[in-house]
Structure 1
Amino acid sequence: MRGIQPRVASLQNSSSLCHMCGATLLSPTFALTAAHCVTKDTDQYVLQLNNYCSHGDVPPKAEVLQIIKHPLYNPITRAHDVAMLRIALHLSDVTWLSHSLLPTFTFGLSGECTIYGYGYKEVDAGITSERLSAGTLRIVSLDECTAALGPYAAPRHDSGMMCAVGDGVDACQGDSGGPLFCSGSIQAVSSHGISCAVPGLPAVYTSVGPHLQWIRELMRDD
């Protein structure tokens, strides 16, 4: 289904403007994405707000000024797969970004959540979407995730990661870095999985909770 969430941006290659990953604007100066999405210099990326209702034909963009990966990020295991982007948003009105998306609670997270992304609609199509899509997922325990994915693919308990599964709905290529919203707050960032939308097979997300203090300190120091 189509998603209505203007703060979910498309992280693009600044030269080709090809979509690479998702990102979420936390404020006029910071966006949140997955660390594995940003492996190059800052001038190689631009954020495009495809879902922002603008009067012109071209969606507004944000310049990436700095990439700050989590200090515990491990590119091999994908543990702590999260990064903050310091941005310059080229919009005169930023009041719509004043509401905080960060959660006030992170313990006992369960139930249904909504994932947003511009990624592949079909795993074999190889085409990302300019329109934001949304899907409903269910949070699963790390034990249930390990039973489904196996001990090597599933995240460790100390990795800052979590798992979620959908009924024919899943994150896919191009959705990495996009948000998982639960009860109106961003509780996770799409990280990785095995294929897309395989029945009963969870995908792995970076949990915002264990990284909340790090995120807030960066935003407070700005």
Structure 2
Amino acid sequence: MNKRVVVHKQASPNWSNPALPAAFMKMFISISLLLLLFLPQYGTESTASTTAMAVEGNQYSYIVRIEGILDASPKSSTNAIHICSAVVLSPTWTITAAHCVAFIYNMNAEQPASGQRSPVIRLGHTPPPADGKPPNDVVNIQEGYKHPGYRDFSAGGTRDLRNDVGMLRTDPIAIKDYAKISSADFTSMIGVTAKALGYRPPSSGTNGTAAQLQSSDVLIVECSSRSEMYPSLCAASQCGSGRGAACAGDAGGALLAAPGVVAITSRHAAHLCRAAVVPDPSAVGIFVPLSPYITWIANFILYVH
């Protein structure tokens, strides 16, 4: 596989047909809202533990992994690197964090020819076979877009991001269910229980390709006034126990609450990722709410070809 991804650093959709009627957009929004009424009620049950649990079966099949695979050994799971998590919205459009798109764009900058990688989406929750022979679960990423307002002011080990949301155009992804974005104003979600989902290696020494989808029950809280991220939602561990902290690799994963995907993971709490007990209940992770970006996201799905 030698196809390089084309990444637009900051972009809004290029309209292939700017004369499309506004009525079509109104119809799309109406249908989307109708579908949201029939989604499962995520995060409506109270829980006393936020221990991250591996997700079994095909549940949440729309939450996927972004990997970099060596061009010299396409589709091999042995030499792949885990980059981020992502959420599939349609057969050809997947959402993730903008800083994940930036990593994809730069990952080959200083690599020799033998180390060049292509970005892919890997489907399925279970790790690849030990012999490195994967099933047909790898989909090429063709283009990546960061939000035009994305800014990275990170310095001194402190992550400081603005509008950390990005879109990936992929080869067709065929799954049973695609994710739906909640249209609820994110400020109204404070105090709601939710599920934080993303892929993380089971141990610090494990190859990123062995990442398994993990689910943690959390409480959506207002971020501290000291938060460097904007816009943002924060999640707290309930009762201060269990491992609810987001880990590296979770970035781009989903924060689910009724009636759909409320936010995606932006910043993880590295020092708390593998802690048995989370001492600061409001420090388990920072998420980018999606309600401010619904129009931007819909424009890609409807009009970009």
TM-score, normalization: structure 2? 0.61
The answer to whether residue 132 in structure 2 is matched with residue 49 in structure 1 is: no
Q: Which amino acid aligns with 2:63?
A: V
Match of 2:65 in 1: 10
What secondary structure, in the 3-state scheme, does the structure 2 residue paired with 1:38 have?
A: helix
CA distance in 2 between counterparts of 1:164 and 1:59 reads: 35
Deviations 1:59-95, CA, capped at 9 Å, x for gaps: 5122111101011111222111110001113x6xx36
Distance 2:185 2:125 in 1: 27
CA separation of 1:204 and 1:100: change in aligned 2, threshold 3 A: closer
What's the secondary structure of 2:176's corresponding residue?
Answer: helix
1:130 Cα deviation from its structure 2 partner? 3.4
Alignment of 1:185 onto 2:260: yes
Match status 1:140 vs 2:221: yes
Q: CA deviation at 1:106?
A: 2.5
Instruction: Tell me what 2:236 maps to.
Output: 165
1:109 equivalent in structure 2: 189
User: Which stretch shifts more, 159-168 or 125-134?
Assistant: 125-134
Counterparts of 2:246 and 2:205, CA distance in 1: 14
Aligned to 2:285: 203
Deviation at 1:203, TM superposition (A): 1.4
Aligned equivalent of 1:74: 151
Q: Tell me if 1:33 matches 2:96.
A: yes
Length, aligned pairs only: 203
Q: Supply the distance in 1 between the matched residues of 2:201 and 2:218 (Cα, whole angstroms).
A: 17
Residue pair 1:155, 1:204 contacting (<8 A) in 2 also: no
- What is the aligned-residue RMSD (CA, Å)? 2.4
CA distance in 2, matches of 1:17, 1:120: 13
| Residue equivalent to 1:21 | 84
| AA matched with 1:104 | S
Q: Which has the higher contact order (CA 8 A, sep 6+)?
A: 2
Whether the aligned pair in 1 keeps the contact of 2:245 and 2:268 (CA below 8 Å) is no
Aligned to 2:295: 213
Which structure 1 segments of 5+ residues have no match? none
TM-score (norm 1): 0.81
Cα pair distance change 1:100/1:118, threshold 3 Å: closer
Deviation larger for 26-35 or 38-47: 38-47
How far the C-alpha of 1:187 sits from its partner, in A, is 0.8
- Unpaired runs of 5+ in structure 2? 1-52, 71-78, 107-116, 127-132, 154-159
3-state SS of the aligned residue for 2:151? coil
Report the equivalent of 1:86. Answer: 169
Cα distance in 1, alignment partners of residues 134 and 152 from structure 2: 38
What is aligned with 1:194?
269
Matches of 2:263 and 2:66, distance apart in 1: 17
Q: Identical aligned pairs, as a percentage?
A: 24
